[in-house]
Amino acid sequence: MRTMISIAVAVLAVAGCGGGDGSNADSGTLSIAITDAAVDGASRVVVTFSAVEIKPAGGTAVVYDLSPAKSIDLLALSGGATAMLLDAKVLPAGQYQWVRLVVESQQNVPTSYIELASGAQHPLFVPSGEESGLKLNRGFTIAAGGRTDFTIDFDLRKSVIAPRGQAPNYLLKPVLRIVDNLRVGTVSGVVPANLIPTVCTPFIYVFSGANVIPDDLDPAASPDVDPLVSVRVELDSASGAFKFKIPFLEVGTYTLAFTCDGAMDTPDGEETLSFSPTVNVTVNANQTTTLNF
């Protein structure tokens, strides 16, 4: 099973507290939130977060316990919606090396779980979730007197798998990216109905850079080009139009490719998808770019 879930950091209030490392007496604030995109065949994907760790350069990681732990249905966060993990947490100004999300996850214990469209519910196991957590190795700076806001994007289409021999457990092997909310924009638009026949699972695949030759979701070890994100094209019942929205794209140029073959694409296999058309688009900070295929 594959689904893309974008966990944007729309910052959930953190209940724990901790000290900060660093010689600079000045401080700034940090906020972290989560967002998501839909996952194929699932109605809920619930992940329980128990702590956030932040590592200052040259210092010891600071742990902010979430008490009680935050159980978040990632599928409830779509179209740019977010959920807060840290809200304006005061930290010493300076350089930081990484952020780690600690999750509650034990095999066969459904603290984190996936619920399928059929109503069946299965445990969602995150390997090393409680020990090593979900680590994002991206350095950042907290400016004195400033505010730093990040969104963490979970790609559930690449992350949720049902491994053979481990039923009924599902595994979450997170594919994450963290973006600076001051340097992101949105792309939205419409796909004409003539591109979407009766037998079609319409998706937009997004690739970094212009004029990229699109490819499917590949296994982690594959050297092929991989989409940054992929989102499903949905029918808007009010207007009758087929629409898509891709939030939290960092400033830059991208190739967007349309395919009807989204249902056959799996993160752990090589599939040949038909893409047409493909379009280049430039994303600007704090703007929505309209792109109609």
CATH number at residue 114: 2.60.40
Residue indicated by tokens 């037998």: 199
**How many Cα atoms occupy the beta-carbon half-sphere of 225 within 13 Å?**
13
In a domain, 20, yes or no: no
Q: What is the pLDDT of residues 70-93, one digit of tens each?
A: 888 887 887 778 888 888 888 888
> How would you classify residue 157: left for phi > 0, otherwise alpha for psi between -120 and 50, otherwise beta?
alpha
Cβ(174)–Cβ(47) below 8 Å: no
Cα–Cα dist 289/215, whole Å: 23
Give the residue-averaged pLDDT of 191-204.
Answer: 94
Considering only 45-59, 128-142, 197-211, 221-235, which range has the smallest mean pLDDT? Answer: 128-142
Has residue 17 been placed in a domain? no
Confidence of residue 128 (pLDDT cuts 50, 70, 90): low
d(CA 123, CA 273): 31
pTM score? 0.76
Mean pLDDT for 198-223 is: 87
Does residue 2 carry a pLDDT above 60?
no
Tens-digit pLDDT profile for residues 26-71: 777 777 777 654 456 778 888 888 889 999 998 999 898 988 888 8
Which percentage of the chain shows pLDDT scores above 90? 29
What is the domain range of residue 273?
185-290
Tens of pLDDT along 33-42?
Answer: 776 544 567 7
**159 and 35 in a common domain:** yes
Number of domains in the chain: 2
Residue 14's pLDDT is what? 26
Which residues lie below 8 Å from residue 228, measured CB to CB, with a gap of 6+? 177, 206, 207, 208, 249, 254
Residues 233 and 279 in one domain: yes
Residue whose entry in the numeric block shows the structure tokens 């599902």: 170
Task: Return the pLDDT at 11.
Answer: 29
Q: In the chain, pLDDT over 70 holds for what percent of residues?
A: 79
- Please report the pLDDT score of residue 13 as a whole number: 26
> Do 91 and 201 belong together in one domain?
no
Q: How confident is the model at residue 178 (pLDDT cuts 50, 70, 90)?
A: confident
Is the domain of 156 the same as that of 99?
yes
Residue 9 lies in a domain: no
pLDDT score of 182 = 87
Q: Is the pLDDT of residue 221 over 80?
A: no
Region 104-109 average pLDDT: 59
**Same domain flag for 145 and 241:** no
Looking at the domain assignment, is residue 5 inside a domain? no
Helix, strand, coil % over all residues of the chain, rounded to 5: 5, 50, 45
Residue carrying the six token digits 């957590």 = 133
Instruction: Compute the average pLDDT of residues 273-280.
Output: 94
Does 13 reside within a domain? no
> Of 36-45, 90-99, 194-203, which gets the smallest average pLDDT?
36-45
Residue 12 lies in a domain: no
Whether residues 195 and 247 share a domain: the answer is yes
Does residue 197 share a domain with residue 95?
no
- pLDDT of 237 > 70? The answer is yes
Residue 180 lies in a domain: no
Select the highest-mean-pLDDT range: 6-15, 17-26, 131-140. 131-140
pLDDT at 135 exceeding the cut of 60: yes
Claim to verify: residue 168 and residue 208 sit in the same structural domain: no
Residue 122 in domain: yes
DSSP 264: G
Same domain, 245 and 281: yes
Go through 227-256 and write b for each residue having 16 or more CB atoms within 10 A of its CB, e for each that does not.
bbbbbbbbeeeeeebbebbbbbbebeebbb
Domain stop point among 151, 174, 197: 174
Same domain, 32 and 166: yes
Domain boundary among 174, 206, 239: 174
| Structure confidence by residue, pLDDT tens digits, 110-123 | 678 888 878 888 87
